[in-house]
Structure 1
Amino acid sequence: MENKDGFVAVKNSQLIITDPEGLGRYPRIEAADNIDIYVKGEKQNNEIVVSKDVENEIEFKINNKAKEKQLSLEITKDRMEANLVIAMTAEQVLQIKDKEAANQIVIETVNKEQNYPRIFKREILNLLNSKQINYGIKHDYITEVINQPGDISGKYLIAEGKRAEAGIDAKLIKSEDFREEEETLFTVIDSIDKGKIICYKEKAIPGKSGVNIFSDRIPAPPVNDFELEAGLNVQLTPDKLKAIAMEGGQPKIVKKKGVVQVNIYRQYTINGDIDKYTGSIKYDGDLLVKGNVTDYFDVDIGNDLKVQGNIANAEINTQGNLYVNNNIIASTLYIGNYLDKETVVKLNYITIKIQDLEQAVDEILGEASKRKMNISDFRTGKIIRLLIENKFPDFHDLILELYQEIDQKSELKDIFKKVVPYFTNMANLERIQDESIFIELKKNIEQFLDTRINNDDVLSIHTGYIQNSEINIGGSVIINKLGCYNSTIRAKGAIIVKNRDGFLKGGDYQSEEIIYAQIAGTKLGKTYFRIGKHIFIKESLGTLVINSDHDSITIDPEKKNINYQIDDFGQLVVADSLPDLEKYLTEA
């Protein structure tokens, strides 16, 4: 007899078994995970061998899945949105899958139909209510979602608050007369006539508050506002919105914290040079020099200085802008009370130490009062001396150190003059009655920093060429012609050489923002740069050393497109775009 394997098939959920012939193999069946097999009422757990004589005693039990639904809410951190998360499982109505005849088969199922659970609107509203969400509920949208057929698993925005609307900051608008004057480098006297409007304020418009999904009020972001203040030769209209020139002259706007002060400075004109016939010049307003500032004659100006010729071998101090039509040679310039970062850090540290000193004195006197001791026995001066000597010794050292470092002509020197004698001879401290001298020092330092560091009134130097000079400016240096050679420039703003062949050759250039030039370096030595934001050099002629506060790189000669910026970690990294010069050139 020929040996033939048996086989088994499934048709209409019934097994059809054919036994083997001769020594053929009996058929085998096993079930998928969702099916249980029973033989003569006993559940089988593994693959089983079947034969024709048990064909009618084999049963299949299908484990149908019941329909399920899960509803949950996701609430955003800002409490402005609630998302409904729906997870659905359909009820599976299954039947045994037909199988072709084979010696071994797996009993499987096929879907006959699927029934998804229904979601009712009240379930969603109850869920929102359980989380105390009662504002911005999207009722129509919820109805639309739950009326969709089939599987609607997913995330749906069903409640949304009303976001606060930002207002509009107050603006200072310069008059046409003012703007026309700014476009001209050299203007002869009286750029604004008496009685004309210099500028006006557009009022701030407050924003609108919002509401989150819990009905909490969300305040609108604060708007930036300022008070318009009349300075020298200026009067405000009764509504405090317009500044009117009471004299003809040069308008000057000084922006401080929360205040914009408008001044009119009379412009003084020297029709020739500043030389032995004029002597050194000190003037509180604007000065226009139609010639040169010649060797060894100094100029100290309270506002803008405009020189149509050159400055050579001079010391220049201005509290305003400096415009030099030609060259600055072998001169020292202090423009707008430049402060280096280190000095700013020291000044801030002193104000903190004064605050700590005040607190320590109050604690000592307060403790004495609690113990019902005679406070009159506690001399404040003696307490201050002991605290400075024992608890705050670095405060003493820093005051004297900074006083020595400050330039004699600096306003800072006057701020410290009153307190320095108490630190050069500590015994003097015992004579003071209270902490008022230190409170005054702290106030003066804070005002100084506010007007010098946080002043939005950006100063600039405009010149054609600089050589062998030292420049300190609380703004930017804009070089219009050749460039700069062998000089030291420290700028709070930018150092920019506009000319397409302009250079920075030799010297030390420090900018808290950007440095920009076509050519840099010299074959005679290294040229040094320190930047706060960005540097671009088209080509290096010599070795360049570029520093940031936390990094340093050296650029070899004959390199092209040197373009670095400072990342969030203070490191110098290759920039993917050029520095934005527009801000500085517009301000200038």
Structure 2
Amino acid sequence: MLGEKKMKDKNRKGFFGLFQNAKRTSESLEETETPQSEPVESPESEESGVIDNNTSTSSNLPPSPDPSDEPDLKESTEPVSIWEPSDDPLILRVNEDLLDVERRQFAMKMKTLSNIYKKNAETIAEPSGEPEPKAAQPQLLISRDCMAAWVYVIPSLNGGPDITEENLRSLLAQERVKTGILDETVKSIAKEHIYDQVLLIARGVLARNGIDGSIKDYFERVVQLEFEEDENGSVDYKNLNNIQAVKEGQVICEITPAVPGENGMTIEGQVYPCTVKGTPIAVPAGRNTQLSEDGTLLISQKTGHVTFSNGKFQVDPLLKINGNIDNSTGNVDYDGDIFISGDVRNGFSVKATGGIDIRGSVEGAEISAQGPITIASGMSGNGRGTLTSESYIKCRYLEHCTVKAEGNVYAESIINSKIQSGEDIVVTSGIGVIIGGSLLAGSNINANIIGSKVRRLITELIIANVPKNVEESSRLTREMEQLHHNLSEIRKNINYLESVQRPDKQQLLDSLKQAADYLNIREQEINNRLNEIASKDSEQVGLIKCRQLLPVVRVRMGSSSLLIQEECSSSIIYKNSEGEITIGTN
């Protein structure tokens, strides 16, 4: 009994001596294979079943290994793909090259250990003298990041039991491998008795990075001033281009929704986090904006201008300018209504497709609107200011300016200005005075005082249902005067050339006769058009009313005219049934 115990101790010591020799051999091979990687520890005992990757090397120098113990490296150096290739750029790939280094190191150690087991089985015998049966031994390697596990099964020896599926699953459970177990591999190893090979037995689930939400702006959040240059390189500092106009239904910005990231899982069931979570972005939807049905476009609900404040785009149909129109704002051209709290300085322009409301005064500027124009003070145009509206114009005073409105013109005073209204000119509030200039109304002119005691200053009042006819009549009259002058000169030349009868001037004579014929035709056309306008003028209706009429005042109603050089009170000026202009009493 005592001899048998001594024999077993001797065999155990011999086994551990061989194992230490295998350890040194494996370390030598690892240093040759991966000199930059960390050394790996051998198993502490033959019953461990798992290879630990975090152990330092022995300080003792290894002896020269037995050539018969060298592992076969052909199988261990072939790279093995763990996860299927994918074109998805969001998949968070694990560095499989590093995992392959771990696998190869594991393969070399296990091959060496397997050889030692086989040698040891031949030398260690039971008391009966027969070799001791050895069951198949599965060894497991879990990668440092716990994303993969490999198994190596040392074959059964001396008729020992083969590996079973239960053995493999028991080892996996013992080492807490829960996720990504390759069942087909487990079954194949047990069924086909696959030994002395490193096989992937479990792999984790790869994480998939998300995409952070993003926004592509089509309008500036902070408007930068941009100056325009002409062909000569001169800069127009009045056109600042600092208003961002937008149409109803126009896209303000494009939104790319966030794609949430998907965490992976290690083989131990722990979360393997993605690096990009896919953070949603706040949609900058403000006043008068809406998202498209798919949530990818921010669209303007109204026509106006775009601004960005408090993290949101907003659309305002009304453009508010708190201050003056001057060098700080530049010219304004806006698709909508404009409100100006201050003045409009000399030389600037304001244009709108809607109305314009100015709470200050206007100097020699250009104001144009498709809607009404309202000026709290008035316009002192210095001979260059203009107001143009497709609706009405209303202000306190109009001085030395040009005004054209398709609707009424309202003022408290009009001085030395050219006013044209498609309807009425009303100057009855306040002083209600018209002095100098020319006023044309499609219907009526109504004022408190018309004219001035300064007799050299003439005030012209025109009633024309079709103001364009008045302009056309004046233009055609001027053209007719020029035509008569040209025709007279041509006839003189024709008479001279016909009298001298020079053959060399025959071509010139023919050209002059051609020109004379054209002018005669044009003269007839002009006369026909003037007669047509005159026939409409005979139907002209309208009144001029005032409480006091001061000379000198020239009145035109259609083709009729009257020069008033005497003062009148409570007067009504109209065209009677005979087509004559008459001054009546109100």
Q: Same fold (TM over 0.5)?
A: no
Q: TM-score, normalised by structure 2?
A: 0.24
Q: Which has the larger radius of gyration?
A: 2
Structure having the larger proportion of residues in strand: 1
Q: TM-score, normalised by structure 1?
A: 0.24
